């Protein structure tokens, strides 16, 4: 399997001098194409910083980030924005849908922003895959939280990105709805060959991934394959995440 995302010796320091905080310290990670990765760790361990650096939303202080073979280091903000629009999908805890736009208008928004043509067949497949057939004319406020997150996932998929990043994508959902959304994320990996990288605090959410990366104090301290919720929770306890 080829790597879609590669971080080599990535460090990120916020601030300067006495107040400087090392959020990432020499992190090296390779994410294989078509895999589902969960990123866990105690609060403040660097999970969001990792996601932001990997997705080109933030610039590392040192080290290299590659997305599908493209080196992000040294790119200016215009090129990074273009790269994010075309090659990266995002799913956030708060869904981030535009309230005045219908489901289908929200889904195609990244294409409109990029001035790209809408491939109607692909749009139909994406909407159907996420289970929103029959809802395309609704406004976000007319949908449940789980349905709104499905719209966000469809929006993330519509550009055929190389990787979809999730920042606590099930954090705002009840347990049953979260399971449905996690099953959907699993399906887009297994059925569409998509690559998904998700930050989560929830061991059950992490158990849907192929690999769980553990961050502590800005470093990757462990990786677990074939995770179960119990093993993930046990590992997190040993990291001191819940004490």
Residues within the interface to ligand ATP (CB under 6 A):
14-15, 21, 23, 41, 43-49
Judge whether 212 and 38 are in contact, CB under 8 Å.
Answer: yes
Burial class (CB in 10 A: 0-12, 13-18, 19+), 99: exposed
Spatial CB neighbours of 205, under 8 Å, sequence gap ≥ 6:
38, 170, 178, 182, 198
Q: Is 73 helix (H, G, I), strand (E, B) or coil?
A: coil
Q: What is the DSSP letter of 117?
A: P
Q: Which residue, 49 or 207, is less far from ligand ATP as judged by CB? A: 49
Q: How many Å apart are CA 115 and CA 11, to the nearest integer? A: 35
* Spatial strand order in the sheet of 21-32: 21-32, 3-14, 62-67, 70-71
Q: Which is nearer to ligand ATP, 23 or 65 (CB)?
A: 23
Evaluate whether 150 touches 183 at the Cβ level (below 8 Å): no
The residue (of 101 and 216) whose beta carbon lies closer to ligand ATP is 216
Compare residues 43 and 120 and give the one whose CB is closer to ligand ATP.
Answer: 43
> In a 3-state reduction of DSSP, which class is residue 146?
helix
Q: Give the E-state strand segments of 113-162 in sequence order.
A: none
Nearer to ligand ATP, 9 or 20 (CB): 20
Is 162 or 167 the residue whose CB approaches ligand ATP more closely? 167
């Amino acid at each position: 399997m080829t790597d879609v995302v590669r971080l080599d010796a990535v460090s990120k320091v916020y601030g300067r001098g006495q107040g400087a905080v090392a959020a990432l310290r020499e992190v090296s990670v390779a994410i294989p194409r078509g895999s589902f990765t969960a990123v866990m760790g105690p609060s403040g361990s660097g999970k969001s910083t990792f996601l932001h650096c990997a997705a080109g939303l933030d610039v590392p202080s040192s080290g290299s980030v590659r997305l599908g073979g493209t080196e992000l280091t040294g790119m200016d903000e215009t090129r990074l924005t273009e790269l994010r629009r075309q090659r990266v999908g995002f799913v956030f805890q708060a869904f981030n849908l535009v309230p005045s736009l219908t489901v289908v208008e929200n889904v195609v928004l990244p294409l409109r922003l990029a001035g790209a043509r809408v491939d109607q067949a692909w749009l139909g497949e994406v909407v159907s895959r996420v289970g929103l057939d029959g809802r395309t004319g609704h406004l976000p406020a007319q949908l449940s939280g789980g349905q709104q997150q499905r719209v966000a996932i469809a929006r993330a998929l519509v550009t055929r990105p190389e990787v979809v990043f999730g920042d606590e994508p099930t954090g705002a959902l009840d347990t049953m709805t979260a399971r449905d959304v996690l099953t959907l994320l699993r399906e887009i990996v297994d059925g569409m060959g998509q690559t998904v990288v998700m930050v989560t605090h929830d061991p059950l959410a992490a158990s849907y991934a192929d690999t769980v990366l553990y961050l502590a104090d800005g470093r990757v301290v462990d990786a677990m394959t074939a995770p179960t919720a119990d093993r993930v929770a046990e590992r997190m306890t040993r990291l001191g995440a819940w004490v």
